[in-house]
Every structure is written in C-alpha cells, then in structure tokens.
Chains A and B, each alone.
Chain A
Amino acid sequence: MAQFTLNINGKQQQVDVAEDTPLLWVLRDHIKLVGTKYGCGISQCGACTVHLDGTATRSCSIPVSAIGNKKVVTIEGLSKNGDHPVQKAWIEHDVAQCGYCQAGQIMSASALLDKNSNPSDEEIYSAMNGNICRCGTYLRIRSAIHSAASNMNA
C-alpha cells in the first residue's frame, strides 16, 4: 500500500492503495466516483474513459502510480451542472438506451471536441471507434457530436 495524492475534478484527493491499482478502481472503490464504468479491463470498450491532462484515457489500464500530477477529469467533473455542450447534445438527441457506456462516450467525444472543434464524420469515427455501445446508439452519438460542435462554435 502506498499514499497517492491525485488531482481529480479539480480537487486534491488522498488514497492509500497498492501502486498497481488501476485508476478506474481508485475512482470507483476509493473515491466513490462511479460514473466511470468497468466494461472490459483491457482498454477495448472505452466505458472507463476519463481525461488525463485533457486526453481521453482508459482508466482501467493505467495504474494509480503513473498518474503523478496529471489532472484527472471524470464524467462527474466534466461540468458543474451537467451542462457541457456534449452532455446537452446527448440529452437533445436522447442518445442513451441502457446508458451504461455513455459516460465513456461523452468523455471521448468531449476530448475530441477540445482538440478539433469541427470534426468530420471520419474524424468522429476514428476518435470514437474505441467506445463500444452494445445497444447500437452510434447514429445518435455521431449526430450529438455534430450538434455539440456547432453549439460550441456558435
């Protein structure tokens, strides 16, 4: 066990965990931020996506010891009131079916829009291809990202 101080959603958080503990389980079990989901544990499904210094990162595959001073943002910290343009677009397009993957989808989409404010379909496919939606809401995900982009640029 070791002590780690992490910057999560703008707050310093102390945890005492084994150093190989994936960030995902630190968030879920120790900080009780359960919006970040477990889906596969091997970076194949994207349900656990968070922002690490602004980059979409699979939290299931990065140990807590590798975080250091990097800023972690989870779905709970993406906006104060759930009003990030991507979150609003997800509501506007009523994207979710079961909804389990959607936090990861939203984190991937918001990281994409941070870097590319007006992505093409192809750019959306390439940024979002690591996020599986078992319910098959991909068409709405694509539309919602375009809406969020145009709202951000308006």
Chain B
Amino acid sequence: MTLVKTSYNRRSFLKTSAAAGGGLLIGFNWLVSCKPTPKQLLEMPEEWFNINSYIKIGNNGVTTIFSANPEIGQNVKTSMPMIVAEELDIDWKKVIVEQTNLNTEKYDRQLAGGSQSIRHGWQGLRMAGATGRRMLLEAAAKEWQVPVSELTTKNGTISHSSGKSAGYGEFAQAASQLSVPEEVELKDPKDFKIIGTPTKNVDGPKLVKGEPLFGLDYNKEGMLIAMIVHAPSFGMKPKSIDDSAVKGMAGIKDVFTIDSATPEGEEASWSETNAFHQLVVIVGNSTWEVMKAKKALKIEWEKVSSSENTVDQISKLDELITQKSDEPRRSDGNTDKAFKNAAKVIEKNYYAPFLAHNTMEPMNFFADVNANKAELVGPIQTPAELRSSVHKYTGIPEENIDVMMTRMGGGFGRRLYGNFGLEAALISKKVNAPVKLIYTREDDMTQGTYRPMYAMKYRAALDKNNKLIGFHVRAAGINSAPLFPDRYPAGTVDNYLAESHSLESNVSTGAWRAPSSNFVAYAEQSFLDEVAEAAGKDPIDFRLELFDRAMTDPVGENNDYDAERYAGVLKMVHEKSNWGEKKEGVYRGVSAYYCHNSYVAQVVDVALNNGEPQIQKIWCVVDCGVVVNPDGAINQVEGGIVDGIGHAMYSALTMTDGKPDQDNFNRYQLIRIKDTPFEIETHFVQNGIDPTGLGEPTLPPISAAVANAMYRAIGKRLTKQPFTQQLKEDVVEPA
C-alpha cells in the first residue's frame, strides 16, 4: 500500500452536511429523476450520509458516487466512479452514479477536453475513495472499541480479526461525523478488483430505453423554444429584418436580435469564440412552429469583412509553406548544411480541409434567466467557462448561476465553445422566460468552429548509408500552426528544423478531436513511411532505429515523449500483427503516434476488390498506463479509429464566397456502417503506470496507417484529405 497525504485536492473532501436526507434519488437533479426501477426502489436506503463530495452512503450500504466531469461519450461517468469505488472497496453492483452540477468549490477541473479527465482525476478520485474507507474504518473501530489496524474491508463490509463484521451502511452515519484523515492508504494496483474489470456503461439501460438524458430532451413547464438565424456567409451580419410574415404565425412569440460579441477591451473566453455574434432570434411555443417561421423570415445581410473561397485558402497555405519563418519553433544542428551534403532528399506536401464537428446532437441549451439568478442546463464540455461568460454578460453573480451538465450527444471539441449556452441565456433574459435554444443541423454545420485547414511541407535528408541526417518540417494552418516542434522525430536527428505559419481568417476555427495532432500524425507518419522506403528500410525498423537514437543519445533536451514507451507500442504491434508476414493480395501500412499523454501504434491491412482498395483489418496497440475500464477503453479505441478513417476518407467542408458548401449530411459525408473496417484488434500495454486518456489518441495515427497501406496497394501516396477525392482525381495504376 502507498501512503498518501490527503492535502492534495483537499477541498474535494470538504464535507457538506452530514445527513443528506432520504430519497435522494429524486431531487438531486433531473437526470436521475427518471423513474427508478422496482429493484432500485427496494434497495433505496431510508437515510443517506455524505462522506465527502464524491461519496454518499445509505444506511443499508447502497452507495452513491458522484460523477463530476462532463460525459461526452468518453464514458467517464462509468470509469471515474469506478476509481472511487475501488479505493472505497465496495461492491460495484451496489453503486448508483449521479452526475453533479458545476461546483468549483467541491470539484476540480469539471471539463471534458484533451483526454485529460482520467489523468487529472486519478489521484484525487483514489483519495476520495480511500478517505471514505478510512473514515468508515475509524467509525467501526470506535464502535467496536478496537484499533483500526485490526480491521479489514472487503466489498463494503468491515471485519475484525475476532470474526465480527458489518456492512458500511452500519457506520455511514458515524463516519459522516468524523473529520477528514490527514493521511490515507492507497491500494497496491495489484489488488485492484474494479479497476481493470470490464464494466458496463452506467447509463446503458437508460440509453436503450430512450430515457431523457440529453440537453435536447430537457423540458421545464412553461419553456419556450428559440432558434437563431446566423449570417449565411462568414464576414456578414444582419442589416435589416422583415418579420411581417412571421409575427402573425401560429405559436410565434417574438423576433429580435442579440449580440454576443465580447465587450471591447476584454479577451474572448471559450463561450464567446464564434464567428457570428449578431444573431436573429425567433421564439415560439414549439420546435416546428419556430422552424417554419425561420424560413418565412426575410433578412437583409451586409458584408463586414472578406468572403473567402476554399481554392484561395488552399493556395495561400501552399504559398506559406514555401516561405521561411524568421522564428523557427525549433532548430537543432545545421539543417541547410545537412541537406546540401545529402545523398538523397525526400520532400512532400500534405493537405487537409476544414472539418465540422457534426455532433449527432446539434447545439442546444436551456436557460432560465431573471434579474439576479440563472439556471442553465445542457451539453457543455466547459461549464465553468460558460458560467463566467454568462456572469460577464448579465451581471448575475456567479454564485447565483447554476449550470447543470446533461449527457452530451457527442462533443469532439465543439462543446468546449459554449456560445450556444451564452446565447440561450441572452435570449431567456430578453424574453424573461425559460427558453430552450435549438440549432438546426444546418445552423450547426455552417456556423464554424471548424477544424482548421492545414498544409505541411516535410523534407528529409539521407546520407549515402541511408542514415537520416536532416529533417525539416514547415506547417501552416488557418488561424493556427499545426506543429509540435518537440515531438518525434525531434530528438532523433542531428539536424532538425521546425517552422510554422498561421493564416488569419474570419472563418472561426477551434479544437476538433485531437487538435492539430489529427493532421500532424497523418502527415508525419505518411512522410516517414516514404523516407523509410527511400532508405530501403522496413518502416517499423526505420522508426525503431530513430527511437534507439532518442534513448541512447537524444538530440536536444525538450523532447516531448518517452522513446521507450513509443518504441514499445511499435514492437508490440509488430508482434501482434505478424508484421513481415506476406499475405497474397494484402497490403499493409503502419503508423505510430504520441499525443494526449498516450502512445498508439497501428497496422492496417488493405485488399483490392476489383481494383478498389478496401480496409480489412486493423491492429491497434495502446500504452495509456493502467486501463480503468477495459470494455469502455476498447470502445474508445475502435471509435477513434473509425472516426479517423471516416474523416480521412470522406469528409470535408469547403466554402464559396464565405458560404459553407455543405450544410447537412446529404452533402457532408460521414463514415457509415458499410464503410467500416471489418475488424479491429486492440491490445493494451500492461505496465501499471498511472493512467492517461483515450478519447483522442487512437484517431491521429490511423489515417497515416491507411495511407501507407493504400500506397502499397495502389502505388500512390495519398497526400490530400479526403482520400476518396484524391483517389478520384488521380488516375491510379495498380502497383
């Protein structure tokens, strides 16, 4: 066991009131107010006792564990409480999980982003569980008049060496009166019983019955429905509105404009990041009535800034990657000289389009705002940031703003930017009534916050022995610079230069699942495949040689990866996929990437079906340290891979005169079941290292593994996403 001081994250253990009162299944928040099943009702305790802000134990031993982080489909509502339950040492079957509201006094980092929930939560959640266990032990020791050291716990039962034993429920009241211990013992990971055991999604039974869990499902008596109309093109705003046809329409209450622009002189926060601040709003009784009114509304728009076209955006980025940067992001050795002395130089450019997030649940939020109080309910990855924005725009003190986080119908980064929550608050304030704002799919897809367009140039220099002596990367992106200067292969090459440029645009861009990594991994790992080929080396051996260098004699000091773990996933995928084995008609590609603190290597098998390349199977090896919930983890791995393949193959958002060319799924292609690879085989490295996240890391490398396998199948390097477009554009000769 490890002894850990509880001072870390101590405010998480502040006790609220000792007895929380009975029947808390109803009343805590509406998300759990779905009728409990008869079985649950039988098990409900008569009284609950708060042990700390994560744990509430009933007099019969039934335990509620609070899930504080937003649930976006990454399954933290299951995996984070599992960590608490492990250290509390209880029977998972007796656990009820409840989503909390935003409470920055009680909880740290109530945010879903960067695959960080588990990594950041790990220590604190273990301590929350261990603290609870310790307090129950102390209560039992007092009651039985024995030393704590003679007591043991198992599955929610405390036993004494004399043979006496009782359930946690017996001591919950006494434990809730105790002060928080100064130190607690944490389990040895070898003794984990819940962590590492496949555990089903706690919301699964509700999801398959269609129970109201999502923001769009929220309803409050007297609630009105609101929709927005944003300008049809980036660079435009409303000039005049003719609502004469709308005002008399059935069910329509009001038409007006709101302005959510950040006050001058202030920095825009997450919830203000949006291209369209001046919005026309329609409020009415029901969704369909408001949708119809939206179509009848006549708005004149005016141009306030440039109208961009995708073709120009591409050529501007293309121009930028030919230009030297005055301030390189990293420079080791002398790259110019290395390229001058090279026996072989390999050079390639890579491109990727704008992508919309396209969460299946369109943006929406409920707000009930009055003079000095606000209630906000909905799907948000950054609830604290939304609260501070609402405070800024309404003047309502933060302590009077309640934010309730619903389950999210997908996020992928889009719900980091809570402009829709702020808009709902402004609308509710204006109409002085509870309002649910709903974006149509078209509103959602055409309003930006896109994954930026990217371009990247790579150059590699090989000496006459095919050793990599120089490496040069130059990146450019719209409103961003897709470059991680200290990531691999930095540290493995004596002469290394990394430069970047950003192209300013009025198209709003933002974080999209594995920001920048989703492109950099594709470009870098496709390019390294080409360099390995030019060097006459096996692509895995070539990468491993570079890792050897990083382990034995690294170049530079700020290399942002652990070469041993990186090489480890490659070695394991080599073994699991029988890399090197020749299979008739099967073409293989490999890729490996490190981002969001986790290491991933993938092998893809492609076969030709009537000359068409088809993905057959994928092997994926992940090193994310301890795997909390293996079943949920595999689901994340598979989802990241399917998502990565889908967007690399099919998806793009383009624009003409500032207007997005795609506004719904008839024009914007997403991967569907028939395009999904037949099989994904996942392996985790077992190393007992503290866990890191899984929501993002398997997505970035897969597009390169696919491109590299495709190259072997069709003899063509896929350098532009979406691949289907490039495959159509280029005449492809069989290899």
Contact = CB atoms under 8 A, between A and B. Distances in A.
Interface of A: 1, 17-18, 20-22, 25, 28-30, 32-42, 44-45, 47, 74-76, 82, 87, 90-91, 94, 96-103, 106, 124-126, 128-129, 131-142
For the complex of A and B, the 10 pairs showing the least CB-CB separation, nearest first, are A35-B210, A100-B409, A136-B642, A98-B73, A75-B210, A44-B665, A97-B73, A125-B674, A99-B207, A34-B217
Nearest to A47: B360
A119 B361 CA distance: 29
B441 A41 contact: yes
A25 B673 CA distance: 27
A22 B289 CA distance: 11
Interface string B664-677: 11100011111010
A5 B575 CA distance: 63
B502 interface: no
B367 to A, nearest CB: 18
B373 to A, nearest CB: 26
Given A21-B288, A22-B288, A137-B639, A100 B360 contact: yes
Contacts of B225: 29
A30 B288 CA distance: 11
B416 to A, nearest CB: 15
B542 interface: no
A99 B203 contact: yes
Contacts of A98: 72-73, 359-361, 407-411
B289 A18 contact: yes
25 contacts: A18-B289, A25-B288, A32-B219, A35-B210, A35-B211, A37-B216, A40-B664, A41-B441, A47-B360, A74-B210, A82-B205, A90-B207, A91-B204, A99-B73, A102-B207, A102-B208, A124-B673, A125-B673, A126-B674, A132-B665, A136-B641, A137-B638, A138-B642, A139-B679, A141-B673
A98 B671 CA distance: 17
Interface of B: 72-75, 200-201, 203-205, 207-214, 216-217, 219, 225, 250, 286-289, 292, 358-362, 407-412, 438, 440-441, 631-632, 635-636, 638-643, 646, 664-666, 670-674, 676, 679-680
B512 to A, nearest CB: 12
Contacts of A44: 664-666
Contact of B250 (A18, A76, A97): A18
Contacts of B360: 37, 39, 45, 47, 98, 100-101, 132-134
A129 B421 CA distance: 33
Contact of B216 (A22, A32, A34, A96): A34
Contacts of A22: 288
Nearest to B209: A82
A28 B210 CA distance: 12
Contacts of A129: 672-674
Given A132-B360, A134-B670, A138-B673, A39 B441 contact: yes
A45 B225 CA distance: 23
A28 B292 CA distance: 17
Given A25-B286, A135-B643, A140-B635, A45 B680 contact: no
Contacts of A41: 440-441, 664
Given A99-B207, A138-B642, 5 more contacts: A37-B409, A38-B438, A97-B74, A129-B672, A137-B638
Given A28-B287, A132-B360, A132-B670, A100 B214 contact: yes
User: Could you tell me the dominant secondary structure of chain A's interface residues?
Assistant: loop
A33 B210 CA distance: 9
Contacts of B289: 18
A136 B412 CA distance: 12
Contacts of A131: 672-673
Looking at B292, B440, B635, B640, the one whose CB has the most chain A CB atoms below 10 A away is B635
A29 B409 contact: no
A21 B291 CA distance: 10
Given A22-B288, A137-B638, A35 B664 contact: no
A40 B361 contact: no
Contacts of A35: 209-212
B410 A134 contact: yes
Nearest to A43: B666
A20 B440 CA distance: 18
Contact of A136 (B359, B441, B676): B676
Contacts of A102: 207-208
Contacts of B407: 98-99
Contacts of A135: 73, 410, 639, 643
A96 B287 CA distance: 27
A97 B639 contact: yes
A29 B209 contact: no
Nearest to A131: B673
B677 to A, nearest CB: 8
Nearest to B73: A98
Contacts of B638: 136-137, 139-140
A35 B34 CA distance: 13
B670 to A, nearest CB: 5
B210 to A, nearest CB: 2
A18 B671 contact: no
A90 B201 CA distance: 11
A40 B409 contact: no
B210 A76 contact: yes
A72 B614 CA distance: 39
Looking at A18, A21, A134, A137, the one whose CB has the most chain B CB atoms below 10 A away is A134
B209 A96 contact: no
B116 to A, nearest CB: 18
A141 B75 CA distance: 17
A29 B288 contact: yes
Contacts of A132: 360, 665, 670, 672
A98 to B, nearest CB: 3
Nearest to A38: B216
B639 A42 contact: no
Contacts of B440: 41
Nearest to A34: B217
A102 B412 CA distance: 18
A96 B204 contact: yes
A24 B200 CA distance: 30
Looking at A28, A82, A135, the one whose CB has the most chain B CB atoms below 10 A away is A135
B639 A100 contact: no
B646 A36 contact: no
A41 B438 CA distance: 13
A17 to B, nearest CB: 7
Contacts of B631: 94
B665 A45 contact: yes
A99 to B, nearest CB: 4
A98 B631 CA distance: 15
Contacts of A106: 208
Contact of A94 (B201, B409, B674, B679): B201
Contacts of B410: 98, 100, 134-135
